[in-house]
């Protein structure tokens, strides 16, 4: 909830005005005007996720982890811009112990309630001011179990840990504005015991050996990233490198026990990305790759930015096509809220259909008919999952892809492929919602498509005919 400006009257107002006038250390000029930033962004599924009153531009995370005791030591340096006069602001953080917080170098008062961390800086932050918050913290990061039973956040593995954050798990390993609408660049520095590797998103910019034998890796993500796409993979890994598009480094990694059996498909990532670029337009990031884990480590694949993570059992061509397609749809163009999740999964699923059409003699029309016949796809409209546990439901994927195929049937291939590449071009490195999408498609189609949206995107149940 957004807190309304307090109305101060009488003696209190006079006292506050005098206090403000006496205060020389950078408060809001002219008196106490600031109010606390909202504790949540009112996401329809996770109302407390994210926080109001500021926009993060950069996260610099300095972490160390020891799998032997499961403890994480962290320092998060958050550069943000105030979007209102702020007397206090919140960050999302689950578990862990906050040791100290500063804002622009001065100690800030810290309060914790549930997953909300409140920092009250010594001086108020003026609207438009860029500030730097530094939070030091430690503890054993927790695994978060979602409404649908899947596990995210911090996942311990046989030789290390995996940090995965869709939709809410990133608050288990660093404090932040954990809603996809507030994207930022990242520098992630991780120190781990000798013999282990620490992998993350983006480009490896530094690697060094500490005096005590531990190793430190620094990863740089210059493009905006939603926090749910930030990732850490700590453990023993075999890695391979390649280049795609003549310039983008590709780094793949796999647990040594499965390195050989995953090598061939890992080596195909450049060619799959080349095919996706032909269909989806320029690749949006300056790094690429994949991380493959034993099945015990994680139960699903995730499109973590630049470097998706796969369990061995899902490391197949279709899922690789899917997670790499998310780099355009979901990662570069992120959902404005979790209600817009279908915009991620519809395109990633359709990418699989297209790949099968091009390489596996299965026209997308046949995939469409198969999806239409799947009763599970009709449980709810893709743009309106009834509860958080439906965010990953079959309709989001299959019926979402059917919406795209209906667009293709309606506007024809030429305009459809213009939409496939034009959508991620228009909202590159940004966020978009369902109405942005329908408006965009209608602008390319040159006509109103409300009949299509009413039936396929928003309608309850299955249409009578596949052509409705």
What SS3 state is found at 325?
helix
Stretch that binds Zn ion, among 9-17, 270-278, 342-350, 371-379 (CB under 5 A): 342-350
Q: Does 57 bind ligand TRP (CB under 6 A)?
A: no
Which of 148, 207, 454, 468 is in the footprint of ligand TRP by CB under 6 A?
148
Q: Provide the token pair at 197.
A: 């590797």
Q: Which residues of 12-50 are buried (b: 16+ CB within 10 A; e: fewer)?
A: eeeeeeeebeeeeeebbeebbbbbbbbbbbebebbebbb
Window contacting ligand TRP (CB under 6 A); options: 276-284, 297-305, 380-388, 459-467: 297-305
**Piece of 337-345, 363-371, 376-384, 405-413 that binds Zn ion (CB under 5 A):** 337-345
- Among 302, 321, 403, 419, interactor with ligand TRP by CB under 6 A: 302
- Could you tell which of ligand TRP, Zn ion, none binds residue 269, using a CB distance below 5 to 8 A set by kind? none
Total binding residues toward ligand TRP, as defined by CB under 6 A: 11
Distances (CA, A) of 257 to 216, 232, 298, 396: 23, 19, 16, 34
- Two tokens at 420? 């496939």
DSSP 180-195: TTS-EEEEEEEEE-TT
Q: What is the 3-state secondary structure (H, E, C) of 216-259?
A: EEEEEEEEEECHHHCCEEEECCEEEEEEECCCEEEEEEECHHHH
Find the binding residues for ligand TRP in span 176-215 (CB under 6 A): none
As a whole number of angstroms, the distance between CA 327 and CA 307 comes to 9
Contact segment (CB under 6 A) with ligand TRP among 45-53, 95-103, 300-308, 402-410 equals 300-308
Token output for 74: 């962290």
Question: Which range in 8-16, 98-106, 217-225, 343-351 contacts Zn ion by CB under 5 A?
Answer: 343-351
Q: Are 292 and 253 in contact (CB under 8 A)?
A: yes
| Smallest separation (angstroms) from ligand TRP to the CB of 97 | 28
Taking CB under 6 A as the criterion, the residue among 300, 372, 417, 458 binding ligand TRP is 300
CA neighbor of 446 nearest in space, from 405, 404, 418, 406: 418
Cα end-to-end span (Å), the chain: 42
Polymer length of the chain = 468
For Zn ion (CB under 5 A), the number of binding residues is: 2
Write the interaction track for ligand TRP spanning residues 340-359; mark x where CB under 6 A is met and - where it is not.
-----x--------------
Closest among 325, 342, 433 to 396, alpha carbons compared: 342
| In the complex, least distance from residue 185 CB atom to ligand TRP, rounded to whole angstroms | 22
What CA–CA distance (Å, rounded) separates 421 from 425?
A: 6
Part of the chain binding ligand TRP (CB under 6 A), chosen from 58-66, 108-116, 213-221, 296-304: 296-304
Site map 348..377 versus Zn ion, x via CB under 5 A: x-----------------------------
148 binds, among ligand TRP, Zn ion, none (CB under 5 to 8 A by kind): ligand TRP
List the one residue out of 266, 345, 337, 338 whose CA is nearest residue 308. Answer: 266
Partner touching 300 among ligand TRP, Zn ion, none, CB below 5 to 8 Å by kind: ligand TRP
For 255-343, list the strands marked E by DSSP: 288-293, 309-311, 333-335
Confirm or reject binding of residue 293 to ligand TRP (CB under 6 A).
no
The residue within the footprint of ligand TRP, chosen from 85, 92, 159, 166 (CB under 6 A), is: 166
* Among ligand TRP, Zn ion, none, residue 166 binds (CB under 5-8 Å by kind): ligand TRP
Binding of ligand TRP at residue 303 (CB under 6 A)? yes
3-state helix, strand, coil in the chain (%, to 5): 30, 30, 40
Cα 157 to Cα 68, 111, 235, 409, distances in angstroms = 11, 32, 8, 46
- Which part of the chain contacts Zn ion (CB under 5 A), choosing from 116-124, 142-150, 347-355, 445-453? 347-355
Indicate the residue among 392 and 453 with the shorter CB distance to ligand TRP. Answer: 392
Q: Which of residues 379-398 bind ligand TRP (CB under 6 A)?
A: 392
Q: Do 40 and 3 touch, CB atoms closer than 8 A? A: no
Binding site for Zn ion (CB under 5 A): 345, 348
Binding site for ligand TRP (CB under 6 A): 148, 150, 166, 300-303, 322-323, 345, 392
């Amino acid at each position: 909830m957004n807190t309304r400006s307090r109305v101060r009257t009488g003696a209190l107002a006079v006292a506050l005005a005098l206090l403000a006038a006496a205060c020389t250390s950078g408060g809001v000029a002219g008196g106490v005007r600031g109010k606390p930033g909202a504790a949540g962004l009112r996401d329809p599924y996770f109302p407390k996720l994210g926080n109001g009153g500021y926009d993060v531009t950069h996260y610099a995370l300095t972490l160390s982890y020891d799998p032997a005791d499961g403890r994480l030591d962290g320092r998060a340096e958050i550069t943000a811009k105030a979007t209102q006069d702020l007397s206090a602001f919140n960050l999302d953080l689950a578990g862990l112990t906050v040791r100290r917080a500063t804002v622009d170098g001065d100690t800030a008062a810290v309060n914790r309630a549930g997953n909300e961390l409140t920092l009250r800086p010594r001086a108020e932050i003026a609207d438009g001011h860029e500030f730097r918050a530094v939070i030091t913290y430690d503890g054993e990061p927790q695994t978060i179990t979602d409404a649908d039973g899947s596990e995210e956040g911090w996942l311990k593995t046989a030789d290390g840990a995996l940090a995965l954050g869709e939709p809410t798990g990133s608050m288990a390993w660093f404090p932040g504005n954990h809603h996809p609408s507030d994207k930022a660049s990242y520098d992630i520095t991780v120190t781990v015991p000798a013999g282990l590797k620490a992998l993350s998103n983006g480009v490896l910019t530094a690697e060094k050996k500490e005096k005590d034998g531990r190793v430190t890796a620094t990863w740089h993500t210059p493009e905006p990233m939603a926090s749910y796409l930030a990732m850490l993979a700590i453990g023993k890994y075999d890695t391979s490198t390649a280049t795609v598009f003549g310039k983008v480094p590709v780094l793949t990694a796999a647990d040594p026990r499965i390195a050989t059996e995953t090598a061939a498909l890992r080596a195909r990532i450049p060619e799959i990305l080349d095919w996706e670029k032909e269909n989806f337009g320029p690749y949006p990031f300056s790094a690429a790759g994949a991380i493959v884990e034993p099945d015990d480590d994680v139960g699903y694949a995730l499109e973590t930015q630049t470097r998706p993570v796969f369990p061995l059992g899902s490391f197949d061509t279709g899922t690789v096509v899917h997670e790499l397609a998310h780099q355009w749809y979901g990662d570069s163009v992120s959902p404005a809220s979790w209600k817009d999740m279908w915009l991620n999964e519809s395109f990633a699923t359709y990418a699989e259909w297209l790949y099968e059409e091009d390489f596996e003699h299965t026209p997308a029309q046949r995939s469409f008919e198969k999806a239409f016949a799947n009763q599970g796809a009709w449980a709810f409209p893709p743009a309106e999952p009834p509860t958080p546990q439906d965010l990953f439901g079959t309709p989001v994927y299959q019926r979402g892809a059917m919406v795209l195929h209906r667009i293709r049937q309606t506007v024809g291939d030429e305009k459809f492929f213009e939409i496939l590449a034009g959508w991620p071009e228009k909202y590159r490195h940004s966020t978009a919602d369902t109405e942005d999408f329908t408006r965009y498609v209608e602008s390319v189609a040159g006509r109103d498509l409300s009949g299509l949206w009413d039936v396929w995107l928003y309608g309850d149940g299955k249409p009578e005919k596949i052509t409705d």
